[in-house]
């Protein structure tokens, strides 16, 4: 994947699963294959999972999981990612991360690297760094990163069977930094409801009960007919009219009398504001003025009575 932020500002590239490479015995003639190629600008790469499969390189062929060596201006942040692969017979043609060129503002930490093994000869992040410790010492990066097997479910095999989700017991569990994270994971799950902050695109409670990917909880029902007090199988919140223009109307089906805490996030995971609302058992209608916010998609999280739910809504003025 190539990213060139020529338009200015800062973009965040997050929650991608990237699988590149060919099977053992294949030969690639010339050129280099990149998992993520940072071509310039002010880019943040957060919570991505990249796997580079074994290459038997010929001529000048090569494979790199992440590189930003093509530009020397702007700012690049690489945090909470998994860069993994299977080391080929010729490791000089293979690397997980490329050294940035001089002049680039580069932050890189809280990542998991796994080149196929962690021996001195196999722990090569790039051609001139034979060990992970050498990479850390020579660059000053990745002080909190790990050189370990992330336990991907099925990174190799037939293409239709590939799966870069994480297995139970993964070292990615709660190993990331909250300073550089995003609200949702690859499957649309809210990271804060699991075990923050997991490294990579997949988030879950990997040392406890698995949380399956959610179904779409956003409804388009424009009625306000009362509903019974919700059970565990019923949703807590639904929008009354979606998209909305200036005022977001929510129907909150509370199981108890108390206060519902409503939190509004943008899609970058930034908390915009919170609103406490008194509720009674059954359906409650809540109106939230949002005329001051730009059009776009938002996430609404509701906490009430020890239960919580997050839905997606859209503001569209015209």
DSSP string, 127-190: TTB-SHHHHHHHH---TT-EES---EEE-SSSGGG-EEEEPTT-TTTT-S-TTS--SB-TTS-B
d(CA 26, CA 21): 9
Strand partners, 38: 3
* CA-closest candidate to residue 252, choices 265, 239, 263: 239
* Phi, psi of 112, rounded to the nearest 5 degrees: -115, 130
Q: List the one residue out of 233, 278, 275, 280 whose CA is nearest residue 253.
A: 280
| pLDDT at site 131 | 75
Coil vs helix vs strand at 45:
strand
What span, in angstroms and rounded, lies between the C-alpha atoms of 29 and 9?
38
* Interacting residues of 122 by C-beta distance below 8 A, sequence separation 6+: 87, 91, 115, 116
Q: What is the pLDDT of residues 126-139, one digit of tens each?
A: 555 567 888 888 88
| Predicted pLDDT of residue 86 | 79
CA 269 to chain centre: 11
Residue ranges for the chain with pLDDT beneath 70: 1-9, 22-32, 54-63, 72, 87-94, 117-130, 208-234
pLDDT at 111: 95
- Partnered with residue 262 across adjacent β-strands are 275, 302
User: What pLDDT is recorded for position 220?
Assistant: 31
Domains in the chain with CATH codes: 2-193 (no CATH), 237-315 (2.60.40.2550)
């Amino acid at each position: 994947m190539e990213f060139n932020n020529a338009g200015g500002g800062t973009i965040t590239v997050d929650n991608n699963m990237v699988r590149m490479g060919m099977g053992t015995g294949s030969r690639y003639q010339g050129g280099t294959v990149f998992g993520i190629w940072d071509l310039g600008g002010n880019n943040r790469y957060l919570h991505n999972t990249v796997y580079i499969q074994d290459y038997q390189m010929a001529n000048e062929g090569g494979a790199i999981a992440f590189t930003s060596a093509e530009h020397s201006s702007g700012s690049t942040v690489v945090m909470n990612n998994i860069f993994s692969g299977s080391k080929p017979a010729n490791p000089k043609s293979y690397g997980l991360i490329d050294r940035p060129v001089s002049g680039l503002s580069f932050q890189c930490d809280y990542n998991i690297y796994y080149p196929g093994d962690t021996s001195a000869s196999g722990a090569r992040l790039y051609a001139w760094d034979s060990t992970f410790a050498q990479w850390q010492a020579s660059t000053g990066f990745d002080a909190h990163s790990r050189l370990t097997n992330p336990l991907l479910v099925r990174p190799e095999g037939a293409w239709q069977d590939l799966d870069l989700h994480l297995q139970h017991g993964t070292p990615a569990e709660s190993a990331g930094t909250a300073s550089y994270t995003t609200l949702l994971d690859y499957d649309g799950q809210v990271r804060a409801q699991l075990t923050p902050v997991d490294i990579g695109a997949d988030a879950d409670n990997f040392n406890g009960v698995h949380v399956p990917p959610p179904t779409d909880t956003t409804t388009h029902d424009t009625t306000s007919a009362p509903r019974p007090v919700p059970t565990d199988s019923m949703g807590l919140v639904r929008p009354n009219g979606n998209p909305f223009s200036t005022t977001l109307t929510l129907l909150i089906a509370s199981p108890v009398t108390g206060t519902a805490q409503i939190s509004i996030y943008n899609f970058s995971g930034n908390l915009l504001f919170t609103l406490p609302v008194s509720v009674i058992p059954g359906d409650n209608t809540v109106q939230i003025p949002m005329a001051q916010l730009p059009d776009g998609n938002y996430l609404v999280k509701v906490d009430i009575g020890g239960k919580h739910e997050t839905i997606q809504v859209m503001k569209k003025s015209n």
